[in-house]
Structure 1
Amino acid sequence: MKAIVITEFGGPEVLKYTEIEKPALGPKQVLIRVIATAVNFADIKARYGKYHGTGQPPFVPGLDAAGTVEAVGEGVKRLKAGDRVIAFPKNGSYAEYIVADENLTFAIPDSIDFETAAACPTVSFTSYKLLADVARLQHGETVLIHAAAGGIGTTAIQLAKVLGAKRVIGTIGNESKKAAALEAGADYVICYETEDFAAKVNELTDGRGADVILDSISGWVAEKSLECLAYYGRLVNFGNAAGGMVGQVKTTDLHSRCRSVMGFSLGTTRDRRPYLLQDTADQVLPYLADGRLQMKIGSRFSIEDAAKAHELVESRQSTGKILLTL
């Protein structure tokens, strides 16, 4: 089968479109013919060898995919050949065929097209877990979402509204991305490269601050976020797009205001507690089916052009989800 293989750690040029063996199907696993797969920022980090759990080259990158079940292994009960599914595969998704555990494969309604399905798994599952399960978003609260124009950002904005947020504020690093965040439903968008986002959030909330802050950047952005985190507020870190920068938290900023700082990783959850994701799928997929959640697809590339897709994501000029189609 054809696949994209990372031949060595490095830039987009290390992504090679080549022929590899079709993955073997094991017990309680499903073989899926891939229709489309998404490019996630974790794929960029994996290409550089900086994503947790990344093996040594050569390997196939990619976290999630949408397609049809070709065959099922011994002991599979929920799925059958021909089912339309999304999945988190065992060994990368930039390929014609993938194998995934049954408990990490989820049937999708016929009303959800394959491109929408391919765009959704990582960003929608992550966004829902962050807001509903980790931050425990309450009706009427204010949510601040950093990197609001990206795949998770545009998805989390929508889900925050669905889950009852009164006000959603987004931050962006480039003014050109403001339209994408506003289109997703943000009430206000702040460019943190040109404005003091903490001061602006406090101004917009009459000094109260944000009840929930979702931070995928870390570094100084995480530190600055504590300046606009409300009493009883929850700051959830789920990435470090800032690279080597590490944010520092003072314990004195927490207890007196009853504030919390938490972390979440969908990758860790897939590996250690995959059973938690069925409930997430049961919540998220109906939102996609009835239109309350819409995936913002920024660009599409054929799988042969995976390097071009990575270049776009790495340029920080992309908005929404970037797809690879087969």
Structure 2
Amino acid sequence: MRAVQVTEFGGPEVLTPAEVPDPEPGPGQVLIEVDRIGVNYADTHQAENSYLAPSTLPLVPGGEVVGRTAGGKRVVSLLNGGGGYAERAVGPVAATFEVPDGVDDLNALAMLVQGATAWVLLRKNTHLEPGESVVVHAAAGGVGTIAVQLAKAWGAGRVIATASSEQKRNLALELGADVAVDSRAENLTETLREANGGKSVDIVLDMVGGRTTDQSMAALAPFGRLAFYGMAGREAPEPVKPSSLLRHSTAISGMWLPHVFRLPGNVFGTALTELFDLVRGGGLRAVAGGEYPLAEARAAHEALRSRGTVGKLLLDPRK
């Protein structure tokens, strides 16, 4: 079958179209004929072996697909260890979910990772309460576009979006943000406070790292919470001292989506069902970031790493 393979770790240049054997499902797995493939920022880390879960070569990257089972059921699946950049993929039954009518491929894939991430960040990490202010960094990205909508729908008092261009900031405002500010502001701490009417902020969702994290932490109000779920800037923030958290009564948490499957109960399934219902009811939508032929996965990664993209990127294995 046609796939994209990595035989040496590195940047987008290592993504190479190839013919590889069809995957064989084992116990607890299902074979999926792939219609669309989701492209995530984590895929760029997987290709260079800098992801939280180490990779082994040769590697077919990609962690999510939407398609059909042998019985014709339309499903979306969160893959284990890659294998998504291909015409066929094997997904764990426990992480494969039926896609209801009224949810297209774009929204099915966007809600599987980006939507579930935003849901967990707001519900589990930061425990958003009505009236609280929420800062969404990278608000025009896959998670950001959904987090802005969810925070507003769930009663946030003020949603503050950050983005690096006027076009991206305008998109965040269209999605419901109350104010959008330049993520490149020299003093981001003061910029966030000004955007919140001169007050410190309650919640920050951060996947950038570096100074963005450091200056966002300084903008937190007493009992404010920052949820850290990525490092797109590839720059680590300063170490956090517990005494500093105590002094300001703030909380910092991390989130990696696979850990949700370790929680008691079907938390992931609950999140996805709620997100799909919102999509079907018109209360939530994914933003299309572009669709690339499978053989052009390298171009998709280059666009994603340039941080010039918005919304959700897809690959089409039929092209």
Q: Indicate conservation of the 8 Å contact 2:39/2:315, yes or no.
A: yes
Q: Which residue of 2 aligns with 1:124?
A: 115
Distance 2:185 2:124 in 1: 33
Distance 2:194 2:306 in 1: 32
Give the alignment's Cα RMSD to 1 decimal: 1.8
Q: Which residue of 2 aligns with 1:19?
A: 19
TM-score, normalised with respect to structure 1: 0.91
1:306-317 matches, cutoff 5 A = 306-317=297-308
User: Are 1:44 and 2:34 matched, yes or no?
Assistant: no
CA deviation profile, 1:39-64 (whole Å, cap 9, x unmatched): 11111111111112131221111111
Deviating more after overlay: 290-299 vs 260-269: 260-269
What SS does the corresponding residue of 1:254 show, helix, strand or coil? Answer: helix
Distance 2:307 2:268 in 1: 29
The offset of 1:302, in angstroms, is 1.1
Partner amino acid, structure 2, of 1:24:
E
Deviating more after overlay: 84-93 vs 174-183: 174-183
Q: Which residue of 1 aligns with 2:72?
A: 82
Q: Indicate conservation of the 8 Å contact 1:223/1:249, yes or no.
A: no
Q: Which residue of 1 aligns with 2:34?
A: 34
Distance 1:181 1:258 in 2: 30
Q: Which residue of 1 aligns with 2:139?
A: 148
Q: Which residue of 2 aligns with 1:235?
A: 226
Q: Which residue of 2 aligns with 1:139?
A: 130
State which of 197, 200, 203 in structure 1 corresponds to 2:188: 197
Q: 1:296 to 1:152 in 2, by over 3 A?
A: same
The offset of 1:273, in angstroms, is 4.8
State which of 289, 294, 303 in structure 2 corresponds to 1:298: 289
The offset of 1:195, in angstroms, is 4.6
Q: Indicate conservation of the 8 Å contact 1:119/1:297, yes or no.
A: no
Distance 1:129 1:149 in 2: 18
Q: Which residue of 2 aligns with 1:75?
A: none
State which of 241, 256, 260 in structure 2 corresponds to 1:265: 256
The offset of 1:205, in angstroms, is 2.6
Unaligned runs of 5+ in 2: none
Partner amino acid, structure 1, of 2:78:
F
CA deviation profile, 1:1-30 (whole Å, cap 9, x unmatched): 211111211222211111111111122221
User: Are 1:276 and 2:267 matched, yes or no?
Assistant: yes
The offset of 1:267, in angstroms, is 3.3
Q: Indicate conservation of the 8 Å contact 2:160/2:195, yes or no.
A: no
Partner amino acid, structure 1, of 2:152:
K
What SS does the corresponding residue of 1:291 show, helix, strand or coil? Answer: coil
TM-score, normalised with respect to structure 2: 0.93
Q: Indicate conservation of the 8 Å contact 1:103/1:278, yes or no.
A: no
1:140-219 matches, cutoff 5 A = 140-219=131-210
Q: Which residue of 1 aligns with 2:280?
A: 289
State which of 98, 101, 104 in structure 2 corresponds to 1:107: 98
CA deviation profile, 1:266-318 (whole Å, cap 9, x unmatched): 13445x45953122222221112212110001111111111111111111111
Q: Indicate conservation of the 8 Å contact 2:132/2:202, yes or no.
A: yes
What SS does the corresponding residue of 2:170 show, helix, strand or coil? Answer: helix
Aligned-pair identity in percent equals 36
Q: Indicate conservation of the 8 Å contact 1:226/1:253, yes or no.
A: no
The offset of 1:207, in angstroms, is 3.5
Q: Indicate conservation of the 8 Å contact 2:137/2:183, yes or no.
A: no
Distance 1:35 1:288 in 2: 20
